[in-house]
Amino acid sequence: MYDPIMRVLTVLEVLQARDFVSGAELAERLEVDLRTVQRYIVRLKDLSIPVESSRGVGGAYRLKPGFRLPPLLLTNEEAFALSLGLHSLRQVGLSAFAPATEGALAKLRRVLPEALRESIRTVDDVVAIEPGPWVVTTSVEDLIRAASAIRTGRRVRFDYESHQGARTRRQIEPYAVMHTDGRWYLIGYCLTRKAMRTFRLDRTSNLTVGAGTFKRPADFDARRYMRSSMPFVQAEYQIDVWIEMPIAEAQQNFAPWRVAIEEENGGTRLRCGRDRLEMFAAMLLSMGRRIVVHSPDELRETFRELARQAVSAAGD
């Protein structure tokens, strides 16, 4: 615990939990000297927190009798949503936030009125959330550094491993981070390639925030940019298929699947990148339309395997 503000808040938590606490005990707990403890007490008083002190070596402190911080003012739905959101971090590849999640939930349980604690217990006891099979775990530290660099307009450097395993050192002006399709992406202008690029955060390492600054384009829209570029982000397989479906219908059916589409021969040509083929192949079959596979050959084999499994499941 090295942040002075966090230490001041810790003093407040201790004072709320205890009738009296000595300066020496606070100093030991916070790993500071008595003079620093006195400065923290003054800071609390500056915030209109009524801290009373007694004379003696190191002194002793307590909150004015009857004073307690007001309960956190949330509705039942807000408390449920907040708890559910904290529990869902694994669903977006941020399981490393588990200690922080437990700490935040513990604080919520302590400060919420009893009637609202039931919402927290409900999520704890009866809601089970597991990440999907395509969710990729991402470094929390890199995500925080990247987001901080975007907010402060600073360039970042990192090592990047491509899908083929090639490693390069990149410097970019980061514009946004975005989570989609089970992965976190970092979007920005790559000073190495002199062009806009999208990087998977789970493939970055040694990400550092530099001193160089830049101005992020005011009109940059991460969602719009990803919709235009996402179909061609590096992936193990580049898919190119034709489906017997009018393009207007295809636009409705494939919009969430980051697929580039165009009208062709009375149907629709689909192009996209995927690391795994099974789910995309099953989705295409669920449309109940004629499909022509242009590439890759692995997609044809995936359809054959699905057909074998379907025949086996159907029995005789």
Percent of the chain with pLDDT over 70: 91
Do both 12 and 39 map to the same domain? yes
Considering the domain boundaries, does residue 131 fall inside one?
Answer: no
Read off φ and ψ for residue 113, nearest 5 degrees: -60, 155
Do both 120 and 153 map to the same domain? no
Do both 145 and 122 map to the same domain? no
Residue at which a domain ends, from 188, 223, 258:
223
Mean pLDDT of the region 239-251: 93
Domain at 249, CATH number: 3.30.70.250
Mean pLDDT of the region 115-130: 77
Domain at 41, CATH number: 1.10.10.10
Do both 217 and 269 map to the same domain? no
Query: Which comes out higher in pLDDT, residue 92 or 198?
Result: 198
- Which H, E and C letters describe the chain, residue by residue? CCCHHHHHHHHHHHHHHCCCEEHHHHHHHHCCCHHHHHHHHHHHHHCCCCEEEECCCCCEEEECCCCCCCCCCCCHHHHHHHHHHHHHHHHHCCHHHHHHHHHHHHHHHHHCCHHHHHHHHHHHHHCCCCCCCCCCCCCHHHHHHHHHHHHHCEEEEEEEECCCCCEEEEEEEEEEEEEECCEEEEEEEECCCCEEEEEEHHHEEEEEEEEEECCCCCCCCHHHHHHHHHHHCCCCEEEEEEECCCHHHHHHHHHHHCCEEEEECCEEEEEEEECCCHHHHHHHHHCCCCEEEEECHHHHHHHHHHHHHHHHHHCC
Query: Which comes out higher in pLDDT, residue 99 or 302?
Result: 302
Distance (Å, whole) CA 26 – CA 99: 24
Query: Which comes out higher in pLDDT, residue 291 or 212?
Result: 291
pTM exceeding 0.85: no
Considering the domain boundaries, does residue 249 fall inside one?
Answer: yes
Mean pLDDT of the region 130-152: 86
pLDDT score at 10: 80
Considering the domain boundaries, does residue 37 fall inside one?
Answer: yes
Mean pLDDT of the region 104-128: 77
Summarised one tens digit per residue, pLDDT across range 70-89 is 666 677 788 888 888 888 88
Q: How long, in residues, is the chain?
A: 316
Do both 261 and 286 map to the same domain? yes
Mean pLDDT of the region 279-305: 94
Number of structural domains (the chain) is 4
Domain at 184, CATH number: 2.30.30
Do both 160 and 210 map to the same domain? yes
Are 94 and 138 in contact, with CB atoms under 8 Å apart?
yes
pLDDT score at 276: 81
Mean pLDDT of the region 196-220: 92
Considering the domain boundaries, does residue 145 fall inside one?
Answer: yes
Considering the domain boundaries, does residue 229 fall inside one?
Answer: no
Do both 219 and 144 map to the same domain? yes
Do both 166 and 188 map to the same domain? yes
Residue 157 confidence (pLDDT) above 50:
yes
Identify the domain containing residue 110 by its residue range: 76-126
Which among 212, 209, 187 is positioned nearest to 197, based on CA atoms?
187
Residue 271 confidence (pLDDT) above 60:
yes
pLDDT score at 1: 42
Considering the domain boundaries, does residue 228 fall inside one?
Answer: no
Summarised one tens digit per residue, pLDDT across range 8-63 is 878 887 887 777 888 888 888 887 888 888 888 898 888 888 888 887 666 788 88
The strands making up 267-274's β-sheet, listed across from edge to edge, are 260-264, 267-274, 237-243, 291-295
Considering the domain boundaries, does residue 242 fall inside one?
Answer: yes
Distance (Å, whole) CA 80 – CA 72: 13
End-to-end Cα, the chain, rounded Å: 66
Residue 277 confidence (pLDDT) above 70:
yes
Do both 245 and 302 map to the same domain? yes
Considering the domain boundaries, does residue 132 fall inside one?
Answer: no
